[in-house]
């Protein structure tokens, strides 16, 4: 980007002001100490840090800079469409997908055109979860709340009546697709957790 | 990083759990809507997004991926040392600097050694504010709360009795050092703000 034209800058600053609202979107998960719900702004920071720290767990062709950009953007649609909790998903996935696409049109549309196209493409790639970069980004997005649940000794899972099998399907699958060795480690932790609980 | 050894992974996950505490560090600034204090975790996300969006305002030799990494890490020391508000700084800067260095030793020291050295070097570079990457990162760290203050029509400045001259020195200087054209734009906005107020 080499856009120093004032009109582009005005649009960029308006987008950044709008993004501030992501700090008011509450997630189903709490902080690791259980003190309050996590919001999607601080979650986005944390998963980007996860990617930076766990880069060595990614497949060799993964480009960390693209992964981090995806993670910084991935939840912005929630400003309009709200959070869709993995263990209590909406009853109408098609409606949710439409709401998120409409949100992406509006929110990325605040940016100068070239940048809107670039960011929207990154978000589409993340959502599709097919490219190596997107698969690693999705894995990070799932590992972070798993860590919170383990830190809270499964309190949130119990509260939502979530089983080990559901966690393996909803959380384990996307993690293993993007970070195989990391999932082997976490899978063992999960097995221990539920062995102790049962 | 190609560290797949379990002992490295255990340390990395411990570091990421510790980082969660940054979401409980309150800053002097609020959200743009004034509804509550901002925390340093969501602030770190927002300034990384600022860098990604305003990349075109950086000098040509600035490497965005390094800037974003610096911004993801820049406030972690606040977990131990607390936030040091720009308009109400500590009365003992040497003591604050020591507290932050001690915090950096402890927090980055949770990581595997090679990564601890890499992250600490990025943090040191940010703090020194001399390299082109660090100057742009520092500019982003100052632009974001300036935007919040402008969104709130100067309410926080009034509350803390901050003058236009103080803002130009404490906020304008670091912004102009890292993003000259951006500062020209914001400087004009600031002048208008205070012309209307006076
Ligand atoms: Ca800061």
Centre of ligand 1 to C-alpha B74, Å, is: 7
Residue B91 is assigned to a structural domain of this protein: yes
pLDDT value of residue A197: 83
Shortest CA distance from A60: residue in chain B: B2
Distance CA B88, CA A41 (A): 25
Residue A40 is assigned to a structural domain of this protein: yes
Q: Does B26 touch chain A (CB under 8 A)?
A: no
Q: Does B44 touch chain A (CB under 8 A)?
A: yes
Centre of ligand 1 to C-alpha A107, Å, is: 25
Residue B45 is assigned to a structural domain of this protein: yes
Residue B143 contacts residue B53 (beta carbons within 8 Å) = no
- Chain B residues touching A35 at Cβ < 8 A: 24
Q: Does A72 touch chain B (CB under 8 A)?
A: yes
User: Of the candidates A20, A49, A151, which has its C-beta nearest B32's C-beta?
Assistant: A20
A9-27 pLDDT, tens digit each: 999 999 999 999 999 999 9
User: Of the candidates A4, A42, A49, which has its C-beta nearest B56's C-beta?
Assistant: A4
pLDDT at A4 exceeding the cut of 70: no
pLDDT (average), residues A179-185: 97
Residue A175 is assigned to a structural domain of this protein: yes
CB contact under 8 A, B49 and A72: yes
Which of A70-79, A131-140, B83-92, B110-119 shows the lowest per-residue confidence on average (mean pLDDT)?
B83-92
ipTM over 0.90: yes
Residue A1 is assigned to a structural domain of this protein: no
Residue linked to tokens 């020391």: B77
Q: What is the pLDDT along chain B (198 residues), one digit of tens a residue?
A: 444 468 999 999 999 999 999 999 999 999 999 999 999 999 999 999 999 999 999 999 999 999 999 999 999 999 999 998 888 877 889 999 999 999 999 999 999 999 999 999 999 999 999 999 999 999 999 999 999 999 999 999 999 999 999 999 999 999 999 999 999 999 999 999 999 987
Residue B32 is assigned to a structural domain of this protein: yes
pLDDT value of residue A91: 80
d(CA B127, nearest CA chain A) in Å? 19
d(CA B191, nearest CA chain A) in Å? 17
Residue B1 is assigned to a structural domain of this protein: no
Strands (E), chain A: 26-30, 37-39
- Domains in chain A, number: 1
Question: What is the DSSP secondary-structure string of A65-79?
Answer: HHHHHHHHHTTTTHH
Centre of ligand 1 to C-alpha B47, Å, is: 8
Residues 51-70 of B with CB under 8 A from A: 52-57, 64-65, 68-69
pLDDT value of residue A106: 98
The range of the structural domain enclosing residue A24 comes to 6-197
d(CA B162, nearest CA chain A) in Å? 22
pLDDT value of residue B197: 83
pLDDT value of residue A5: 61
pLDDT at A3 exceeding the cut of 50: no
pLDDT at A69 exceeding the cut of 70: yes
CATH number, domain containing residue A81: 1.10.3210.10
Shortest CA distance from B48: residue in chain A: A72
Tokens of B86: 């720009």
User: Of the candidates A6, A35, A56, which has its C-beta nearest B1's C-beta?
Assistant: A56
pLDDT value of residue A1: 42
Residue A162 is assigned to a structural domain of this protein: yes
């Amino acid at each position: 980007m080499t856009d120093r034209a004032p009109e582009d800058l005005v649009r960029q600053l308006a987008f950044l002001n709008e993004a501030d609202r992501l700090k008011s979107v509450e997630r189903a998960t709490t902080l690791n100490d259980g003190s309050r719900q996590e919001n999607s702004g601080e979650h986005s920071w944390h998963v980007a840090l996860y990617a930076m720290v766990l880069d060595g767990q990614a497949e060799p062709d993964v480009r960390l800079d693209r992964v981090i950009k995806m993670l910084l953007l991935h939840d912005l649609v929630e400003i309009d469409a709200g959070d869709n909790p993995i263990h209590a998903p909406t009853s109408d996935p098609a409606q949710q997908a439409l709401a998120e696409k409409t949100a992406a049109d509006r929110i990325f549309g605040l940016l100068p055109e070239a940048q809107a196209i670039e960011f929207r493409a990154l978000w589409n790639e993340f959502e599709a979860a097919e490219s190596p970069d997107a698969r690693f980004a999705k894995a990070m997005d799932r590992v972070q709340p798993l860590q919170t649940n383990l830190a809270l000794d499964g309190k949130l899972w119990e509260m939502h009546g979530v089983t080990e099998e559901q966690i393996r399907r909803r959380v384990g699958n996307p993690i293993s697709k993007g970070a195989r060795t990391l999932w082997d480690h976490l899978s063992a932790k999960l097995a221990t957790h539920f062995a102790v609980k049962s």
